Amino acid sequence: MSSAYPSTRPKILIAGGGLVGNTLALALAARGLAVTLVEPRTAAPDQCDPADTRHLALAEGSVLALQRLGVWPALAESAGAIRRVEVSRRGAPGQLRLDAAEHGFERFGAVVPAPLLLRALDQKVADCALIEVLTGVRVEYSEAGNQLRRVMLSDGSTREVALLVAADGTDSPLRTGAAIPARVHDYQQSLISCSIRSRRVMPGSAFERLDQDGPLALLPRPDGRMGLVWTMSSGDAQARMADADGAFCAAFQERFGYRLGRLSSPGRRSLWPLRLIYAEQLHADRLVLVGNAAQTIHPIGAQGFNLGLRDALALAQCQAGRDDPGEPAVLAHYESLRRPDREQTLAWTSQLLAMRPGHSLLGPAAGLGLALVDLLPGLQRALVERAMGMAVLPWLPEAA
C-alpha cells in the first residue's frame, strides 16, 4: 500500500528524542528507513543535563544492541562492567549471589551514566544522513486521516506521515490524545540517584538491598566511585535531598550496611518520583507507543531502559519489507511481539517488590526463594539469562 504523501519525505515521525526515541531512530536507519525525529530539547549533542545523575544498569543484550548501532564506542570507557551481583534483604534472611564467570559469561551487563548515554545517542543521530532532526520543537496535536496521520508541530508547521511514534515519556500527551487506556499506580515513592565513594572498592560488583521502605543499590563505575540508587517514600526523599552530605551518607549506610566500608563524598543528587504506567494497548490508528510512553515501571531490577530498547528493536524489525510502516497489520504484529516481554518484566519487578521485608506478601517464603536460587545452579541460570536480556532481544542490526 503506497503512502498518501510525497515519497521524498520520511514516512515515520518519532515524537521524543530521548534514550528510546534516539535508539529507535538509529534502529530504523539501520533498516535503511528515513525518519524524522522531533525533540523539544535544544541542547547540543555534547552537552549533558547536570540535573540527571541516574546510572543505568544495561543488560548485556542492550550493550550488544548499542554496539551494533555504533553507539558503544563513545561509552566504553565510562561503562562499569557488572560481573557479580549480590541481592540481600535488610534485617531478614535470604541472599543471592551471582557471578558471571560461573555461568560462562564475561559480564552480565554494564552501568553507564544516563546523560552520557543520551549524549552518545544524540551524536550518532546527528551524524546519520537518514535521520532528520527537529530540535526545540514538539508535537502539539495529531489526527488520523486516509493512509496517513497529520501532525501539527509547535513551530506552526504540519507533517503528514504514515506512522507517528510516541516516544514522549511517562505522561505521553500522544497516548492520552489517542485515548489509549493505561493502568496507573502511584507508588508514593521517589528515587534518589547520585555517585558515592566507598572505602572498599569491589570492581565489577553490583549490590541491591531490599529494604521495607524500598530497594537500595550500589552500581560499579570504572572510576572507583559507585552509582547510588535509593528508593523511599516521597516525603522522606524530599528530606534526604536536603541533608548535608555526612547525614545523607550515614542514613544510606544504616540501611545498606558496611559491606563496602564507610561511604562518603556523595555527588550531585537528583530526585525522580515513581509511578507505574502500563498502556493496555500499544497502538492506535497510525500511532504506536515505545519506551516510557508504553510502560514506566518500578526501577527495582533495573529493567526500564532495557525494556524500552527492546521496544525500539521490535518496531524496527516489524518494518522489514513493509512499504507502509503504519498499516494495521504492522502495528498489530509489533504489539504481539512485545506482549510476552512486557508482561513477564512487569511480573518480575512485582515479584521483587513483594520480597521486601516487612511488606512481603510472600512472608518467610521470600527469603527461602532467594536462598534456593543462590544454592541451585539451574535456577540461577534461568534468572541470569532473563536478566541479561539476550533471549528476549527481538532483532539486532548487522554488525558494523
- Read off the pLDDT of residues 217-247 as tens digits, 9 standing for 90 and up: 999 999 999 999 999 999 999 999 999 999 9
Is residue 297 within 8 A of residue 170, CB to CB? The reply is: no
Give the three cell numbers for residue 169: 515519556
Does residue 365 surpass a pLDDT of 70?
Answer: no
pLDDT, position 51: 75
In sequence order, which residues have a C-beta less than 8 Å from that of residue 51 and are 6 or more positions away?
A: 268, 270
Asked if residue 144 belongs to a domain, the reply is yes
Asked if residue 189 belongs to a domain, the reply is no
Report the helix count and the strand count for the chain, using DSSP H and E.
Answer: 10, 21
Pairing of strands 163-166, 287-289: parallel
The conformation of residue 398, written as its DSSP 8-state character, comes to P
Asked if residue 247 belongs to a domain, the reply is no
Does residue 4 surpass a pLDDT of 60?
Answer: no
The whole domain housing 362 covers 12-184+274-388
Does residue 357 surpass a pLDDT of 80?
Answer: no
Does residue 9 surpass a pLDDT of 90?
Answer: no
Condensed to tens digits (0 to 9), the pLDDT of residues 62-109 reads: 999 999 999 999 999 999 999 999 988 887 666 889 899 999 999 999
Give the three cell numbers for residue 130: 537518514
Asked if residue 309 belongs to a domain, the reply is yes
Condensed to tens digits (0 to 9), the pLDDT of residues 32-69 reads: 999 999 999 986 656 666 678 999 999 999 999 999 99
pLDDT, position 189: 96
In whole angstroms, give the CA distance from residue 203 to residue 33. 41
Asked if residue 374 belongs to a domain, the reply is yes
In whole angstroms, give the CA distance from residue 296 to residue 287. 18
Condensed to tens digits (0 to 9), the pLDDT of residues 168-219 reads: 999 999 999 999 999 999 999 999 999 999 999 999 999 999 988 889 999 9
% residues pLDDT > 70 (the chain): 89
pLDDT, position 63: 98
Q: Name which of 231, 270, 241, 266 is nearest 115 in CA terms.
A: 270
Is residue 75 within 8 A of residue 101, CB to CB? The reply is: no
Does residue 300 surpass a pLDDT of 60?
Answer: yes
Q: How many domains are contained in the chain? A: 1
Is residue 195 within 8 A of residue 225, CB to CB? The reply is: yes
User: Predicted confidence band at 5 (pLDDT cuts at 50, 70, 90)?
Assistant: very low
pLDDT, position 224: 92
The conformation of residue 295, written as its DSSP 8-state character, comes to E
Q: Name which of 15, 22, 267, 58 is nearest 166 in CA terms.
A: 15
Asked if residue 354 belongs to a domain, the reply is yes
Does residue 371 surpass a pLDDT of 90?
Answer: no
Pairing of strands 214-220, 287-289: unpaired
pLDDT, position 358: 66
DSSP secondary structure string, 351-379? HHHHTSTTS-SSTTHHHHHHHHHHH-HHH
Asked if residue 259 belongs to a domain, the reply is no
Q: What is the arithmetic mean of pLDDT over 333-339?
A: 98
Averaged confidence pLDDT in the chain: 90
User: Predicted confidence band at 377 (pLDDT cuts at 50, 70, 90)?
Assistant: low
Phi, psi of 379 (to 5 degrees): -70, -40
Does residue 17 surpass a pLDDT of 90?
Answer: yes
What predicted TM-score, i.e. pTM, was given to this entire model? 0.93
Asked if residue 232 belongs to a domain, the reply is no
Q: What is the arithmetic mean of pLDDT over 309-335?
A: 96
Phi, psi of 59 (to 5 degrees): -65, 155
In whole angstroms, give the CA distance from residue 194 to residue 68. 29
Scanning the chain, the segments in alpha helix (DSSP H) are: 19-30, 60-68, 114-126, 173-177, 234-241, 245-256, 304-318, 328-354, 365-375, 377-388
Residue 134's CATH number = 3.50.50.60
Does residue 286 surpass a pLDDT of 60?
Answer: yes
Give the three cell numbers for residue 243: 541533608
pLDDT, position 6: 43
Is residue 197 within 8 A of residue 269, CB to CB? The reply is: no
Give the three cell numbers for residue 30: 539501520
Does residue 303 surpass a pLDDT of 70?
Answer: yes
